[in-house]
């Protein structure tokens, strides 16, 4: 039997052993396999083997110790769950024998979740459901979920958008309080528009250009030729005249962040009575607006600008198709519907837009058009066909006018104490070394580090666009612009005037869609306060974060709904082809590349799918050139390839291709 001294020594020894083992806290990161990693705040990363990974969920914060495996590698052993990020999620209900499970629709939650009998909420096999974690796997060892709601079946009409609305927490109907507030605003709109001093611009030949079915019209255009160039006038709808900060409508608009556009429905940021009614720049209706006057030189430079509160009346609501037909000199009913008073304005507008675009191409950066596709739906709400959409001159005309206004407003705010800008920092810090090496190697530039500055990035991009000087201006062998584009930071909102490197501009904001985007409404309020010399309320980081989150959720919900619809269409095509044209090859272009493979976009429909090369040791990946190599064959961005369909899982928007070599 040990005496007290021996027990004390043993306890002290155990304490020393415990203290000698490295211990950390960090966040769990799942992978496509059963294993995972835990990342610490000081950027250390430790391996979680499958048994340990089964105890936690992606995003969990854990305390862990570090041990060595038999192979001498470090791995994390979980000692405590500190917090969990997983709560509600969506997925498909699966019944296997007596077991009921949910297959989560989540990028890192890649295991079936058991549903106990008391928590099934009458869900049936194949149902699409919303649920929540009812039992965390730590320390119980098995994750469990409770079904909150049966959203529907995969065959239901609008199930794609309904499911994504639930997944991304997109607001649906407006509350009764918001609707009542909107109705109250309608009754006092006249007073709201006359309390501010406004110029009467109702006699100007304003016109709107949008999709034929659109009713939430944010902007109206007018242009006249001058001796030195053009005077471009852009009127922007002014919901800020009536929607006050802190009102219920304002809070709801902030929560939504933006209007959300699905293939089969639209969820507005503001009630439709306002967004498609009282604030919309509908034809033959007097509306409050903010008018921007831009003086544009013959070579497309904006030499002066002015902004004021105004009343306007649009004289015509035109569609992109109509305007493009007119500009191309077509004849027929579409063009005949355009009044003779409006046609001269369209011609002048187009000339001004072309000059603006030419100037930006010389001094800034203009993104190249990429093919776009639109799905047309049948009576069941599923894709009937996918058609190619070409951005016509009318789209480009409107875009150029909007960019011109946004640039001018950004310059206006940059001179003030407070602003709201879209900041784009350029090349990601972790990719700058490879970007510099690529530029030095391909362009023979002596100081490639300038790619990290606004002016340097613009210069590099223009050098690439000019072509390889060693090959008489022919395109470079590598798709340099595409490679650099994949190395850029994401843009973000900020209150300081910082560059938008992707556009080659010293400052940029958006001002032209206050009916559809909350950040534009915020910019309106700032501009109006400065014009009136009124006190400014700085925009908080919390508000910017909330706007960013709402807009990201909206974008993801719309995109994933669209991908689901298109994947379901492709699955139907594939089922027919397997019988009639087995092994059919499709043409596509490589649009994304990473170490695990690449994404191919099909030429005829724009659907994207993955070519996975992770399990093939013959493949080598070069991160600098973003190129895969197998033997003597290379695969890189923008390369045309032939693929066949390997599998399609519509509910997960998952399309996999097999490369046809």
Residue 125 to residue 112: CA distance in whole angstroms:
14
Residue 311 to residue 235: CA distance in whole angstroms:
9
Residue 501 to residue 506: CA distance in whole angstroms:
8
631 and 554 inside one domain: no
Residue numbers of the domain that contains 250: 176-421+511-560
Q: Indicate if the pLDDT at residue 592 is higher than 80.
A: yes
Q: Indicate if the pLDDT at residue 1 is higher than 70.
A: no
Q: Indicate if the pLDDT at residue 458 is higher than 70.
A: yes
Does residue 108 form part of some domain? yes
What pLDDT sits at residue 5? 60
Q: Indicate if the pLDDT at residue 366 is higher than 80.
A: yes
DSSP state of 168: T
Tens of pLDDT, residues 160-216: 999 999 999 999 899 999 999 999 998 877 776 666 689 999 999 999 999 999 999
Instruction: Please tell me the total count of domains within the chain.
Output: 5
C-alpha gyration radius of the chain: 29
State the residue for tokens 């191409």. 361
Handedness of CA 311, 315, 320, 324 (dihedral sign): negative
**To 10 degrees, what angle do helices 176-187 and 248-256 make?**
120
Q: Indicate if the pLDDT at residue 143 is higher than 60.
A: yes
Does residue 26 form part of some domain? yes
Q: Which residues pair with 99 in a beta bridge?
A: 96
What pLDDT sits at residue 107? 80
Instruction: Please name the residue ranges forming H helices in 257-341.
Output: 272-273, 320-327, 333-336
Question: Among candidates 610, 604, 600, 608, which has minimal Cα distance to 639?
Answer: 600
Does residue 30 form part of some domain? yes
Enter the pTM of the model. 0.92
71 and 95 inside one domain: no
Q: Indicate if the pLDDT at residue 35 is higher than 80.
A: yes
What pLDDT sits at residue 9? 54
117 and 61 inside one domain: no
What pLDDT sits at residue 187? 80
Q: How far is residue 633 from each of residues 212, 328, 541, 628, measured CA to CA in Å?
A: 47, 44, 49, 8
Q: What is the 3-state secondary structure (H, E, C) of 66-100?
A: EEECCCCCEEEEEEEEEECCCCEEEEEEEEECCEE
Tens of pLDDT, residues 245-287: 999 999 999 999 999 999 989 999 999 999 999 999 999 999 9
269 and 370 inside one domain: yes
Of 54, 83, 112, the residue that ends a domain is 83
Does residue 4 form part of some domain? no
What pLDDT sits at residue 576? 87
What pLDDT sits at residue 8? 57
34 and 108 inside one domain: no
Instruction: Give the pLDDT mean for 531-558.
Output: 96
Of 65, 83, 101, the residue that ends a domain is 83
269 and 417 inside one domain: yes
Q: Indicate the pLDDT class of residue 3, thresholds 50, 70 and 90.
A: low
Does residue 223 form part of some domain? yes
Tens of pLDDT, residues 126-141: 999 999 999 999 987 7
CB–CB of 506/498 below 8 Å?
no
Question: Among candidates 547, 609, 556, which has minimal Cα distance to 161?
Answer: 556
249 and 355 inside one domain: yes
What pLDDT sits at residue 192? 63
Highest mean pLDDT among 3-17, 73-87, 417-431: 417-431
Does residue 74 form part of some domain? yes
124 and 215 inside one domain: no
233 and 314 inside one domain: yes
Q: Indicate if the pLDDT at residue 12 is higher than 60.
A: no
What is the rounded end-to-end Cα distance, in angstroms, of the chain? Answer: 75
Residue 155 to residue 160: CA distance in whole angstroms:
9
CB–CB of 545/449 below 8 Å?
no
Tens of pLDDT, residues 441-452: 999 888 999 999
State the residue for tokens 């149902």. 127
What pLDDT sits at residue 13? 52
Tens of pLDDT, residues 615-647: 778 899 999 999 999 988 999 999 999 999 999
400: enclosing H helix or E strand: helix 393-414
340 and 472 inside one domain: no
Pairing of strands 302-319, 206-210: parallel
Q: Indicate the pLDDT class of residue 17, thresholds 50, 70 and 90.
A: very low
Does residue 327 form part of some domain? yes
Of 83, 105, 140, the residue that ends a domain is 83
318 and 429 inside one domain: no
Q: Indicate if the pLDDT at residue 226 is higher than 60.
A: yes
619 and 635 inside one domain: yes
- Please give the share of the chain, as a percent, with pLDDT higher than 90: 82
Q: Indicate if the pLDDT at residue 49 is higher than 60.
A: yes
Could you tell me the CATH number of the domain that includes residue 54? 2.40.50.140
Q: Which segment of 89-103, 299-313, 366-380, 589-603 scores lowest on mean pLDDT?
A: 366-380
Q: Identify whether 551 is preceded by a cis peptide bond (ω within 30 of 0).
A: no
Q: Indicate the pLDDT class of residue 614, thresholds 50, 70 and 90.
A: confident
Work out the mean pLDDT of the chain and round it to a whole number: 92
Does residue 496 form part of some domain? no
- Please give the share of the chain, as a percent, with pLDDT higher than 70: 96
Tens of pLDDT, residues 491-522: 999 999 999 999 999 999 999 999 999 999 99
Residue 570 to residue 303: CA distance in whole angstroms:
50
């Amino acid at each position: 039997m040990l005496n007290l001294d021996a027990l004390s020594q043993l306890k002290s020894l155990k304490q020393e052993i415990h203290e000698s083992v490295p211990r950390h806290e960090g966040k769990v990161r799942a992978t496509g396999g059963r294993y995972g990693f835990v990342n610490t705040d000081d950027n250390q990363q430790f391996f979680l083997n499958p048994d340990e990974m089964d105890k936690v969920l992606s995003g969990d914060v854990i305390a862990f110790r570090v041990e060595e495996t038999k192979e001498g590698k470090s791995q994390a052993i979980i000692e405590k769950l500190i917090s969990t990020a997983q709560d509600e999620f969506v997925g498909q209900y699966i019944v296997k024998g007596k077991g009921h499970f949910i297959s989560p629709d989540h990028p890192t939650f890649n295991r079936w979740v058991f549903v106990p009998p008391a928590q099934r909420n009458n869900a049936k096999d194949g149902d699409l459901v919303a649920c929540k974690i009812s039992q965390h796997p730590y320390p119980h060892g098995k994750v469990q979920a409770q079904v909150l709601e049966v959203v529907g079946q995969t065959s239901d009409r609008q199930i794609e958008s309904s499911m994504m609305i639930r997944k991304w927490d997109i607001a649906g109907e407006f509350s009764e309080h918001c609707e009542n507030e909107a109705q109250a605003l309608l009754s006092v709109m006249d007073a709201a528009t006359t309390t501010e001093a406004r110029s009467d611009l109702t006699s100007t030949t304003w016109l709107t250009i949008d999709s034929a079915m659109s009713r939430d019209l944010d902007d109206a255009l007018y242009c006249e030729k001058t001796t030195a160039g053009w005077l471009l006038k852009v009127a922007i709808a002014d919901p800020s005249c009536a929607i006050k900060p802190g009102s219920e409508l304002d809070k709801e608009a902030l929560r939504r962040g933006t209007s959300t556009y699905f293939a089969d429905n639209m969820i507005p940021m503001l009630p439709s009575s306002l967004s498609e009614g009282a604030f919309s720049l509908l034809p033959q209706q007097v509306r409050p607006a903010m008018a921007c006057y831009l003086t544009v030189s013959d070579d497309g430079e904006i030499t002066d600008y002015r902004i004021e509160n105004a009343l306007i009346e649009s004289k015509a609501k035109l569609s992109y198709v109509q305007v493009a037909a007119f500009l191309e000199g077509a004849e027929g009913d579409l063009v005949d519907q355009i009044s003779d008073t409006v046609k001269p304005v369209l011609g002048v507008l187009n000339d001004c837009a072309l000059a603006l675009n030419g100037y930006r191409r010389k001094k800034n950066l203009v993104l190249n058009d990429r093919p776009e596709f639109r799905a047309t739906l049948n009576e069941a709400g599923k894709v009937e066909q996918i058609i190619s959409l070409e951005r016509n001159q009318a789209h480009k005309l409107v875009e150029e006018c909007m960019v011109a206004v946004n640039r001018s407003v950004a310059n206006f705010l940059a001179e003030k104490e407070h602003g709201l800008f879209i900041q784009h920092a350029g090349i990601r810090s972790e990719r700058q070394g490879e970007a510099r090496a690529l530029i030095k190697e391909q362009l023979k530039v002596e100081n490639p580090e300038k790619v990290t500055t606004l002016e340097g990035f613009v210069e590099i991009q223009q050098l690439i666009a000019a072509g390889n000087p060693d090959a008489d201006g022919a395109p470079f062998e590598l798709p340099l612009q595409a490679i650099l584009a994949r190395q850029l930071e994401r843009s973000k909102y900020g209150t300081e005037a910082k560059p938008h490197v992707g556009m080659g501009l010293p400052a940029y904001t958006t001002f032209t869609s206050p009916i559809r985007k909350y950040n534009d409404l915020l910019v309106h309020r700032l501009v109006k306060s400065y014009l009136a010399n009124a006190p400014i309320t700085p925009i908080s980081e919390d508000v910017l974060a909330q706007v960013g989150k709402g807009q990201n959720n909206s974008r993801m919900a719309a995109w994933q709904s669209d991908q689901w619809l298109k994947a379901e269409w492709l699955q139907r095509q594939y089922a027919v082809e397997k019988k009639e044209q087995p092994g059919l090859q499709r043409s596509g272009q490589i649009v994304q590349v990473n170490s695990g493979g690449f994404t191919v976009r099909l030429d005829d429909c724009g659907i994207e799918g993955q070519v996975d090369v992770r399990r093939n040791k013959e493949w080598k990946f070069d991160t600098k050139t973003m190129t895969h190599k197998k033997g003597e064959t290379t695969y890189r961005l923008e390369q045309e390839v032939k693929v066949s369909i390997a599998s399609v899982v519509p509910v997960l928007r998952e399309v996999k291709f097999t490369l046809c070599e």
